[in-house]
Amino acid sequence: MTAPRRLDVRKTYKLYIAGGFSRSESGRSYPVTGSGGSVVARPARASRKDLRESVRAARSAQPGWAGATAYNRGQILYRMAELMEGRREQFVHELDRLGVDHPDREVTASIDRWVWYAGWSDKVHHLVGTVNPVAGPYFDFTIPEPTGVVGIVAPDDPALLGLVSRLAPAIVSGNTVVLLASETKPLPAVTLCEVLATSDVPPGVVNVLTGYREELLPWLAGHMDVNAIDLTGVQADAVDELERLAAENLKRTVRDGQADVFADAAQSPYAITALMEMKTVWHPMGA
């Protein structure tokens, strides 16, 4: 007797907001094509309401995440690397479907980048924090603190390594994130959300939206409860307008100009401090 033909169980690509997977509130999706031009997936097409919900989730999670010890945050980032190692074949398959050259190399570099930034979690404050010499009976300390809620526009290429290279330094110091995934290659970002959901990253620390950037970017840049924005994945001709919108509430803006994301120079402790605030505290000396 011939066994019945089994239907494929196709993956549903959803948004990741506040630690849960959801479709866009509008119910929309959009086609993503592979190297041959065929449609390989229809991820959710996030709306302005989805963006607002993501910012709200990030704001709620930020005090708790910033209040965790640096050692604990480092352990959690290392756990991300462990889980990605266990899902290596899944990530390679996603990148291969999108026509990425050498997907295994990109997955390996992404795992290693989590480990690299995890190691900086309890060290970066020693690099940039200091006791300042002052002329007077005072101690003067410079203490780095997370900026708050950070918007990140992930690069299109490389889709996975570019995303990890911007996300890891943002969250290791205590920031929370609203991330716009690559518009043309969003599948690895959604798969990364499955890693986030099964790791120890608290709900709301990372929120990931897929969809059309022209619909979401102006609202992310202009949102009054977003404290900083990483425009690395934005085309050069769109940066000026987004910086103008960001300036309305004095958002910190960063944009990494490193051409080779695989190079050692693409990972730096200064990518962490670019999204931190330096607070100066004066304390009188005892009598």
Residues 195 and 91: their CA atoms lie apart, in Å, by 11
For residue 116, which amino acid is it? W
pLDDT of residue 1: 63
Out of 38-47, 71-80, 128-137, least confident range: 128-137
User: What is the pLDDT averaged over residues 46-54?
Assistant: 96
Q: Which two tokens stand for residue 25?
A: 């509130």
Query: Is 208:189 a contact under the CB 8 Å cutoff?
Result: yes
Query: Is 155:262 a contact under the CB 8 Å cutoff?
Result: no
Residue 85: enclosing H or E segment and its boundaries? helix 70-86
pLDDT of residue 136: 80
Q: What is the DSSP string of 39-57?
A: EEE--B---HHHHHHHHHH
Tens of pLDDT, residues 85-138: 999 999 999 999 888 899 999 999 999 999 999 999 999 988 887 777 888 887
* φ/ψ of residue 4, rounded to 5: -65, 145
pLDDT of residue 95: 93
pTM (two decimals): 0.92
pLDDT at 84 over 60: yes
| pLDDT band at 147; cut points 50, 70, 90 | very high
Query: Is 131:140 a contact under the CB 8 Å cutoff?
Result: yes
Torsion 77-256-122-146 (CA) sign? negative
Tell me what the pLDDT averaged over the chain comes to: 92
pLDDT of residue 223: 96
User: What is the pLDDT averaged over residues 46-50?
Assistant: 96
Tens of pLDDT, residues 237-253: 999 999 999 999 999 99
Question: Which DSSP state fits 47?
Answer: -
Residues 286 and 271: their CA atoms lie apart, in Å, by 38
Tens of pLDDT, residues 166-186: 999 999 999 999 999 999 999
pLDDT of residue 70: 94
Residues 174 and 120: their CA atoms lie apart, in Å, by 12
Residues 238 and 179: their CA atoms lie apart, in Å, by 18
Q: Who contacts 287 (Cβ-Cβ below 8 Å, separation ≥6)? A: none
Query: Is 272:129 a contact under the CB 8 Å cutoff?
Result: no
CATH fold of 43-284: Aldehyde Dehydrogenase; Chain A, domain 1 (3.40.605)
